Amino acid sequence: MMNENHEKDANAAARAANEGAAHQGYDEAAQTAGEATEEDVLLKLAAENEDLKDRALRLAAEMENLRRRTARDVADARSYAIANFARDMLAVSDNLRRALDAIPAEAKSGDDAGFRALIEGVEMTERDMLSKLERHGVKKIEPEGERFDPNFHQAMFEVPNPDVPANTVVNVVQTGYVIGERVLRPAMVGVSRGGPKAPVETPVEPGPPDPVAEKDA
């Protein structure tokens, strides 16, 4: 009888031990699974954070580029909005100059005070118009004696001259103008032909550093 009781107690203890081990193994497995899930979540959040940061940086760069383009467009619109109007006013100025050039020299130096006052009034009007245009960024191109530049000049004829470097502007038929950095109207010019080639301008290379200047700086 006692042996049976001992055997029952031993079996019960074994079952209890097995159940405890099973519970412990389950808890450890659950804990391990929980730790792996938490690590995965952290990695996922870190990846999402990097993705959002990258998107934010890209958006900030795009907004900065848009701001710069808008500022440049506004500046261009402010500078060049009057280009067509200025071009029309140059035609008026040309007509004033043609009218003045058509007056004979003896008539300009005559005794008619009223006629001289009229000439002075037209000249003053021309100067005032060009002054107003210059105040709005319209400037005259004065290329005579300079090397011909197709970006600013329009060649109308050639002048044979062996004493002047070839492709030098020697005559201005019609004055050219720029507005800001853009050509409003190219200068119509005559260029030289038959002379020596114009020297090519080469950039000046910087010399060795000056130790005295560096010391003073």
Q: What is the CATH number of the domain that holds 155?
A: 2.30.22.10
Asked if residues 190 and 159 have their Cβ atoms less than 8 Å apart, the reply is yes
In a domain, 115, yes or no: yes
DSSP structure string for 117-158 = HHHHHHHHHHHHHHHHHHHTTEEEE--TTSBP-TTTEEEEEE
In a domain, 208, yes or no: no
Q: What pLDDT does 154 receive? A: 93
Asked if residues 86 and 136 have their Cβ atoms less than 8 Å apart, the reply is yes
**Does residue 75 share a domain with residue 12?**
yes
**Does residue 38 share a domain with residue 67?**
yes
In a domain, 76, yes or no: yes
Q: d(Cα 34, Cα 90) in Å, to the nearest integer?
A: 83
Q: What pLDDT does 75 receive? A: 76
Task: Show the beta-strand stretches assigned E in the chain.
Answer: 138-141, 153-160, 169-174, 176-179, 182-185, 187-193
In a domain, 209, yes or no: no
Instruction: For 58-93, write each residue's pLDDT tens digit.
Output: 999 999 998 998 888 887 777 777 888 888 999 999
Q: What pLDDT does 214 receive? A: 42
**Does residue 49 share a domain with residue 31?**
yes
In a domain, 216, yes or no: no
Q: What pLDDT does 47 receive? A: 86
Q: What pLDDT does 112 receive? A: 81
- Written as six digits, the tokens of 141 are 């191109």
Which residues does the chain have with pLDDT short of 70?
1-36, 198-217
Q: What pLDDT does 147 receive? A: 93
**Does residue 100 share a domain with residue 33?**
no
Q: What is the mean pLDDT of the chain?
A: 78
In a domain, 214, yes or no: no
Specify the pTM. Answer: 0.56
Q: What pLDDT does 38 receive? A: 81
In a domain, 173, yes or no: yes
Q: d(Cα 30, Cα 43) in Å, to the nearest integer?
A: 20
Q: What's the structural domain count of the chain?
A: 3
Largest CA distance in the chain: 161
